[in-house]
């Protein structure tokens, strides 16, 4: 459904391939090749695809998810785990971490949100959880709550993204969920000012936003493609002059950056969240705010960047195998420390 799900899929698959025993506690509809332990049936979980929900619908999903996490944490010691690798956005695993035997690694995939802030603040007194952030900017945002937060960049399978040393399309590419957070309305305005055609790939995840902010801005220069499979998306990004990335919130990472650079496509966008840390002067041109003319100027500047530099930066920072190496090293360190503590406890 998004970056968090892609991260979970990739790292579970690769840890299994490296010979680790992995249990994925997740919704029953998850891919069974990941050795899924269902904690929530599909009837209880409906991905949010619109901003228009009744309070009853929201509370029903919230309660079902809350109960699923509580029951999971109550029973999790029976699986005799060495590490609990927590990638959920729910506060329950952190709050209940002091009640289970296995140490926990929690990845902070979002900027600080209310429930997680409170849970982390209270957990700090026990020190049972190691926190990891996906970017330097996000770690800084969490500093008041998790001051010892380690940074491990998200990674992608670079072998699955073909590098395009030349682009043939002459258009701007925007891809992602069509949602207010992603700022497609700003991208459309900037593309028109730059006098370039634009292709848009992605599912509508907020119907109200699409109808009120996107539809009125469409014309013959904009091509909406909907959701695309991996091969088609790779081709679209690779043949674009520029990938336009327009977050309207403090994006903690943004896989679209890594994917664009892997294809050799430079980035123009808004300097929010992690973008200024993920890009450099050779691979991205960012405007400081939501000034449409400044964003259009960034498109023109980025289109002149060397595409080989973009691929090189992807290889340096966003290789999924390097990401898994970092997590694997962290798991081994924490598991070893946990065994040492248990031995000391038994001796005393």
Look at strands 267-270 and 84-86 and give their pairing: unpaired
**Which of the four pLDDT bands, split at 50, 70 and 90, describes residue 56?**
very low
d(CA 132, CA 146): 9
Q: Are 310 and 163 in contact (CB under 8 A)?
A: no
**Which of the four pLDDT bands, split at 50, 70 and 90, describes residue 3?**
confident
Domains (range + CATH), the chain: 3-155+319-347 (3.40.50.2000), 158-317 (3.40.50.2000)
pLDDT at 158: 97
Is the pLDDT reported for residue 111 higher than 80? yes
pLDDT at 345: 67
259: nearest Cα among 300, 178, 313, 205: 313
Q: Where are the beta strands (DSSP E) in 2-148?
A: 24-27, 36-40, 84-86, 104-108, 129-133
How far from 102 is each of 81, 266, 334, CA to CA, in Å? 6, 43, 10
pLDDT at 51: 37
d(CA 198, CA 240): 9
pLDDT at 44: 58
Average pLDDT over residues 266-284: 97
Pick the residue with more confidence: 184 or 340?
184
**Which of the four pLDDT bands, split at 50, 70 and 90, describes residue 339?**
confident
Bridge partners (DSSP) of residue 24 are 36
Average pLDDT over residues 303-319: 97
Average pLDDT over residues 116-133: 93
pLDDT at 45: 55
Look at strands 171-175 and 242-245 and give their pairing: parallel
**For residue range 146-161, what is the model confidence (pLDDT) as tens digits?**
999 999 999 999 999 9
Model-level pTM?
Answer: 0.87
Average pLDDT over residues 283-307: 96
**Which of the four pLDDT bands, split at 50, 70 and 90, describes residue 41?**
confident
d(CA 310, CA 134): 20
**For residue range 127-137, what is the model confidence (pLDDT) as tens digits?**
899 999 999 99
**For residue range 178-223, what is the model confidence (pLDDT) as tens digits?**
999 999 999 999 999 999 999 999 999 999 999 999 999 999 999 9
pLDDT at 46: 54
Is the pLDDT reported for residue 304 higher than 70? yes
Q: What is the CA radius of gyration of the chain?
A: 21
Average pLDDT over residues 170-174: 96
pLDDT at 48: 46
Is the pLDDT reported for residue 291 higher than 90? yes
Average pLDDT over residues 21-28: 95
Pick the residue with more confidence: 285 or 62?
285
Average pLDDT over residues 232-248: 97
Is the pLDDT reported for residue 58 higher than 60? no
Give percent helix, percent strand, percent coil of the chain, each to the nearest 5: 50, 15, 35
Q: What is the mean pLDDT of the chain?
A: 92
Q: Are 272 and 247 in contact (CB under 8 A)?
A: yes
């Amino acid at each position: 459904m998004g970056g968090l799900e892609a991260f979970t899929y990739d790292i579970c698959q690769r840890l299994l391939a490296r010979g680790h025993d992995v249990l994925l506690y997740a919704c029953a509809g998850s891919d069974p090749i990941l050795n899924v332990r269902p904690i929530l049936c599909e009837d209880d979980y409906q991905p949010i695809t619109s901003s228009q929900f009744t309070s009853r619908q929201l509370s029903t999903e919230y309660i079902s998810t809350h109960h699923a996490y509580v029951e999971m944490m109550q029973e999790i010691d029976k699986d005799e785990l060495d590490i609990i690798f927590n990638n959920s956005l729910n506060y329950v695993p952190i709050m209940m971490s002091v009640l289970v035997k296995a140490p926990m690694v929690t990845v902070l995939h979002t900027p600080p949100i209310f429930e997680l802030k409170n849970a982390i603040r209270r957990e700090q007194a026990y020190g049972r959880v190691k926190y990891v952030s996906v970017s330097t900017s996000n770690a800084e945002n969490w500093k008041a709550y998790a001051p010892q937060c380690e940074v491990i960049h998200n990674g992608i399978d670079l072998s699955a993204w073909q590098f395009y040393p030349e682009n043939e399309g002459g258009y701007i590419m925007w891809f992602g969920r069509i949602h207010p957070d992603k700022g497609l309305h700003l991208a459309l305005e900037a593309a028109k000012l730059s006098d370039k055609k634009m292709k848009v790939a992605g599912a509508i995840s907020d119907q109200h936003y699409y109808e009120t902010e996107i539809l009125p801005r469409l014309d013959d220069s904009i091509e909406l493609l909907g959701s695309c499979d991996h091969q088609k998306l790779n081709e679209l990004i690779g043949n674009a002059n520029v990938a336009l990335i327009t977050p309207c919130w403090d994006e903690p990472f943004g896989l679209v950056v890594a994917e664009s650079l892997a294809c050799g496509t430079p980035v123009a966008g808004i300097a929010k969240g992690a973008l200024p840390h993920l890009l450099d002067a050779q691979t991205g041109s960012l405007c400081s705010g939501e000034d449409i003319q400044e964003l259009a100027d960034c498109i023109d500047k980025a289109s002149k960047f060397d595409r080989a530099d973009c691929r090189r930066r992807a290889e340096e920072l966003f290789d999924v195998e390097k990401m898994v190496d970092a997590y694997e090293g962290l798991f081994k360190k924490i598991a070893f420390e946990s065994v040492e503590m248990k031995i000391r406890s038994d001796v005393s």
